């Protein structure tokens, strides 16, 4: 299998981790990455690393580098309209049982660079291009590229093309939106060119009625910056508002920014400064904070990786890392049998992601509809953190041997690092 020819659609974290791991097993593997953007997308909001993904970054040898490039966020603080703290959830200081703030909070672009930089000269990259069509054969996948119209055969096609994966849609004969499960959370992400946290290392969470949230996170850039998030949360009874948000995302950044200005002009706290910073930002993007649950992760020689197969808010980056490692590990374990390897990957990842249950409730409870609801939430959180019940629960869980749920996977026969 050392000369396996693989096409990865998408240059993000999932595909990069897979390529890194496969090249550890097969240094001569022929890997091509096709990316729709004109260059690597090394931007994005803060992400974190949890569960089995922590073990994987240690195995990859990149854990020290990741620690060096974390955001230095020390926890999360809920504030009221005057900016007064009402509850603080501190980081746990542990990698096996983490709080809301992970031990590995890092900006997506920095993490993507850490994974792809070591292998970028060992793969072929095609930018400003995408896959228009593919056709499966017994001995490979025939791929037609969108712009060049070039047709080429690969042994394996990996769909790492995100939540609205066109490859997933073609593989399952559905639409890209078919397996996206909305939890009614729409988020705008951007970098504010001013330190609104005044040097603080606690993220700040503020709520206004109608389930509007402003979430500010520290940025260690010495120039003084803040990472801003505007959140609008809807319930299943608010379908008209939800559709308006969905439409604005599809219409593009300008449409969504105008909608955010409508939604947050009277939100209070630092809303005017945040909206101004949003307009001045260079990296604005918006998305639905939704899950992907595909009934299959592989058909023939096409396989779904990362968000394309199992996007999960809060732990999506960790699942992307785990998925890339497992897929490469299964190809190593089933040397010479691609379809057995893909089945093994699906048998490991699909039950795990399906066991992760996320109802509509959590984000709706954390972002109440009314001032009264916000005050009740603040009182509860203030009591819990004031009495340090959150820390007590973590200490008891640790003493009883509870840690973050990990993925059951084989001990892959990785060769010694060259």
pLDDT at 392: 44
CA distance 336 to 209: 58
Q: Distance (Å, rounded) from C-alpha 65 to C-alpha 104?
A: 11
Helix (H, G, I), strand (E, B) or coil at 213: strand
| pLDDT at residue 358, as a whole number | 59
Task: Give me the tens of pLDDT residue by residue for the chain, a chain 418 residues long.
Answer: 568 899 999 999 999 999 999 999 999 999 999 999 998 888 788 899 998 999 999 999 999 999 999 988 888 999 999 999 998 888 766 655 566 777 889 999 999 999 999 999 999 999 999 999 999 998 999 999 999 999 999 999 999 999 999 999 999 999 988 898 887 899 999 999 999 999 999 999 999 999 999 999 999 989 899 999 999 999 888 889 999 999 999 999 999 999 999 999 999 999 999 999 999 999 999 988 888 999 999 999 999 999 999 999 888 999 999 999 999 999 999 987 899 999 999 999 999 998 886 555 678 888 899 999 999 989 988 888 887 755 544 444 444 343 467 888 999 999 987 6
Helix (H) or strand (E) holding 363, with range, is helix 361-366
| CA atoms in the 13 A half-sphere facing the CB of 176 | 11
Strand order in the sheet with 151-154: 131-137, 140-145, 151-154
The dihedral region occupied by 118, where left means phi > 0, alpha psi between -120 and 50, and beta the remainder, is: alpha
Nearest to 92 by CA among 64, 73, 68: 73
> Left if phi > 0, otherwise alpha if psi is -120 to 50, otherwise beta: which for 337?
beta
What is the average pLDDT value for the chain, to the nearest integer?
Answer: 90
- Residue 40: the pLDDT is 86
Query: In this structure, what are the phi and psi dihedrals at residue 190, rounded to the nearest 5 degrees?
Result: -170, 160
Cβ–Cβ < 8 Å for 46, 107? yes
pLDDT digits (tens, 9 = 90+) for 119-131: 999 999 999 999 9
- pLDDT at residue 96, as a whole number: 56
Asked if residues 225 and 195 have their Cβ atoms less than 8 Å apart, the reply is yes
The alpha-carbon radius of gyration of the chain (Å, integer) is 22
| pTM (2 d.p.) | 0.90
String of b and e for 124-138 (b: at least 16 CB within 10 Å)? ebbeebbbeebeeee
Residue 389 burial (C-beta neighbours within 10 Å; 0-12, 13-18, 19+): exposed
Query: Cα–Cα distance between 111 and 48 in angstroms, integer?
Result: 9
Q: Give the closest residue to 11 by CA, choosing from 153, 146, 130, 105.
A: 130
Query: CB pairs under 8 A, 24+ apart, for 282-285?
Result: 282/191, 283/43, 283/44, 283/189, 283/190, 283/191, 284/188, 284/189, 284/190, 284/253, 284/257, 285/43, 285/44, 285/188, 285/189, 285/190, 285/253
Cβ atoms < 10 Å from Cβ of 342: 24
Structure confidence at residue 397 (pLDDT): 41
């Amino acid at each position: 299998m050392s000369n396996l020819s693989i096409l990865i659609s998408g240059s993000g974290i999932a595909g990069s981790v897979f390529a890194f791991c496969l090249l550890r097993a097969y240094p001569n593997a022929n890997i091509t990455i096709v990316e729709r953007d004109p260059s690597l997308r090394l931007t994005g909001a803060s992400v974190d690393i949890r569960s089995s993904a922590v073990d994987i970054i240690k195995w990859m040898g990149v854990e020290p580098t990741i620690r060096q490039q974390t955001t230095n966020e020390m926890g999360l603080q809920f504030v009221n309209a005057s900016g007064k703290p009402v509850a603080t959830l501190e980081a746990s200081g542990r990698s096996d049982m983490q709080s809301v703030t992970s031990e590995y909070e890092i900006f997506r672009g920095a993490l993507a660079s850490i994974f792809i930089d070591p292998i970028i000269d060992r793969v072929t990259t095609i930018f400003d291009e995408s896959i228009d069509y593919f056709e499966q054969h017994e001995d490979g996948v025939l791929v037609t590229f969108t712009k060049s119209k070039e047709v080429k055969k690969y042994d394996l096609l990996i769909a790492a093309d995100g939540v609205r994966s066109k490859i997933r849609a073609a593989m399952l004969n559905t639409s890209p939106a078919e397996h996206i499960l909305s939890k009614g959370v729409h988020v705008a992400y951007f970098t504010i060119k001013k330190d609104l946290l005044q040097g603080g290392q606690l993220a700040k969470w503020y709520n206004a009625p109608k389930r509007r949230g402003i979430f500010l996170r520290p940025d260690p850039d010495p120039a003084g910056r803040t990472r801003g998030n505007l959140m609008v949360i809807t319930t299943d009874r608010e379908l008209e508002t939800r559709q308006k948000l969905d439409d604005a995302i599809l219409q593009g950044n300008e449409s969504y920014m105008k909608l955010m200005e409508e939604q947050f002009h009277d939100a209070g706290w630092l809303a005017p400064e945040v909206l101004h910073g949003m307009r001045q930002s260079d990296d604005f993007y918006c998305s639905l904070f939704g899950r992907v649950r595909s009934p299959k992760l592989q058909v023939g020689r096409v396989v779904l990786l990362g968000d394309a197969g199992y996007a999960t808010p809060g732990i999506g980056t960790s699942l992307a890392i785990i998925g890339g490692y497992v897929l490469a590990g299964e190809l190593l374990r089933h040397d010479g049998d691609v379809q057995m390897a893909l089945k093994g990957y699906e048998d490991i990842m699909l039950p795990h992601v399906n066991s992760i249950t996320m109802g509509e409730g959590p984000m709706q409870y954390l972002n109440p509809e009314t001032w009264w609801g916000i005050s009740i939430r603040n009182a509860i959180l203030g009591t819990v953190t004031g009495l340090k019940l959150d820390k007590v629960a973590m200490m008891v869980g640790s003493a009883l041997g509870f840690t973050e749920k990990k993925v059951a996977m084989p001990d892959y026969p990785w060769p010694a690092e060259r």
